[in-house]
Amino acid sequence: MPSRLRLYLELIRWDRPAGWLLLLWPTLSALWIASHGFPGWHLVAVFTLGTILMRSAGCCLNDVADRDFDRHVKRTAGRPVTRGAVGVREALLLGAVLALMAFGLVLTTNTATIAWSFAALVVAVVYPYAKRFVSMPQAVLGVAFSFGIPMAFAAVQSRVPALAGLLLLGNLFWVIAYDTEYAMVDRDDDLKIGMKTSAITLGRFDVAAVLASYLVYLSIWAVALMDIAQSAIYLIAIGVALGQALWHVWLIRGRGRDACFRAFRLNHWLGFTVFAGIVLSYALAGA
């Protein structure tokens, strides 16, 4: 593999799919809910590929924005832009190309989805800089990582109902939960460089806040989808997801770097569990 391509794949975290899976599961869940079942391969492909592309573009922008901070953080000091292996303009150009490719996919949907994609782009651009000014930047990330939900409803129904907003709110709390775990990994380094994170803001209440965020997320999604096709199947999935959330809280109780990072990386399975419950619910109802 050419060395430049290897650097680009490293820049977009191609070897770490957990990042785009965290965006994908709630987005696909919203597609199934909006369609009351399988939404068709076209929308599945558009939103799956679009999610991967936009997450990759976000990595490019984030690494450029944080390059002066990342060199002081153990986990991020070796990133391509931070160590100078990829230039700032080069990284931004790659990010722009990836974002345009994602927009090309959006153009195959409808006007409502296209309009929502611009709002999603604005939030994605704002987030990397929120860490300098907002005490809980994880909340901004929560909005950015949840925009696939209203876009999915817009793609299917050409509108965004109140249900989409409720699901977005619930998903925001899930993002706060897992990104606080992520922030706990870098807390010592972030304190030294003056970065703002939820792990620092919450202090000794960080673990309790993670637990509360998980509970709010799962409660909102359980109540919002109480009338789903096969609610018993779905509630079983919510129960399994709750078990995973409690396990994550157990892992981070000692605030160890490795344990917190492990909990973060396992979150995509929690999202998959909720998605699987939704898919099975509609599949069994239509059988």
pLDDT in tens, 125-168: 888 888 778 888 889 889 999 999 999 999 999 999 999 999 99
- Judge whether residue 213 has pLDDT over 90: yes
Largest CA distance in the chain: 57
Collapsing DSSP to helix, strand or coil, 79 comes out as coil
Q: What is the pLDDT of residue 287?
A: 58
Assess contact for 240 and 274: CB atoms under 8 A.
Answer: no
96 Cβ contact partners less than 8 Å away, ≥ 6 residues apart: 57
Tell me what the mean pLDDT of segment 229-234 comes to. 82
Q: What is the pLDDT of residue 192?
A: 82
Q: Tokens standing for 171?
A: 């998903």
Which tens digits make up the pLDDT trace of 237-273?
A: 999 999 999 999 999 999 999 999 999 999 999 999 9
In which residue are the tokens 């799956």 written?
48
Q: What is the pLDDT of residue 229?
A: 66
Length, in residues, of the chain: 287
Please provide the DSSP assignment of 127-152 as one string: HHHHTTT-S-HHHHHHHHHHTHHHHH
Domain 3-286 CATH (choose: 3.90.1640.20, 3.40.50.360, 1.10.357.140, 3.90.740.10): 1.10.357.140
Region of 36 please: left (phi>0), alpha (psi -120 to 50) or beta.
left
- Report the distance separating Cα 274 and Cα 199, nearest Å: 26
Q: How many CB atoms lie within 10 A of CB 112?
A: 18
Burial annotation 236-267 (CB, 10 A radius, 16+ → b, else e): ebbebbbebbeebbebbeeeeeebbbebbbbb
Q: Over the chain, what is the mean pLDDT?
A: 92
Q: Give how far Cα 258 sits from Cα of 21, 190, 210, 245, 262, Å.
A: 20, 16, 17, 17, 6
Q: What is the pLDDT of residue 8?
A: 92
Which tens digits make up the pLDDT trace of 18-50?
A: 989 999 999 999 999 999 999 999 999 999 999
Q: Enter the DSSP assignment of 219.
A: H
* pLDDT top residue among 191 and 176: 176
- Judge whether residue 74 has pLDDT over 90: no
Q: What is the pLDDT of residue 254?
A: 95
Tell me what the mean pLDDT of segment 205-227 comes to. 96
Among the listed residues 158, 124, 133, the one whose alpha carbon sits nearest the alpha carbon of residue 50: 124
Q: Tokens standing for 135?
A: 């005490």
Collapsing DSSP to helix, strand or coil, 178 comes out as helix
- Judge whether residue 1 has pLDDT over 70: no
Q: Tokens standing for 111?
A: 């006007």
Measure the N-to-C terminal CA separation of the chain; round to a whole number of Å: 47
Confidence of residue 276 (pLDDT cuts 50, 70, 90): very high
Which tens digits make up the pLDDT trace of 77-127?
A: 888 998 889 999 999 999 999 999 999 999 999 999 999 999 999 998 888
Tell me what the mean pLDDT of segment 69-82 comes to. 82
